[in-house]
Amino acid sequence: MKKEEFMRKAIELSIENIENGGGPFGAVIVKGGKIVATGVNRVTDSCDPTAHAEVCAIRAAAKKLGTFNLSGCEIYTSCEPCPMCLGAIYWARLDKMYYANTKTDAMNIGFDDSFIYDELELKLTERKLQSEQLLRNEALKAFEAWSNNNEKIEY
């Protein structure tokens, strides 16, 4: 299959998902020229704010391939990813991302992530989400244990 065919599949999934009560987003993960996994936006259906198409596709691909490292894979997504999904794509180590609609296109239909980008530029004390650090010294024990664990699987 060609790149355009994989993207058409992501777009097809996004349209079908609307008909099934979900949001207008679809994603396809490809490895070696074959679709490994797909995902659609199921936020409202699953009552899971992280159930975006890209995250769902990453979860399915990781499970199918038996690894958290999706190097060697590419993602085709019907829309430029939100900050959460973009972070997940980086953490999954996907080789390349293709997208169709832009974040501006998404904003124009009510999916506006610009507030998150704006918040990330601010100091913690200036953000809308109030934050307070607690018990750092106690929490550092877990990081020390991780650092000293010779059997850890780094990711």
Tokens of 63: 């499970």
Active site residue 54: yes
Residue among 41, 32, 31, 30 nearest 7 (CA): 30
d(CA 64, CA 58): 10
Q: Which member of 54, 80, 119, 126 is catalytic?
A: 54
**Residue positions annotated with a catalytic role:** 54
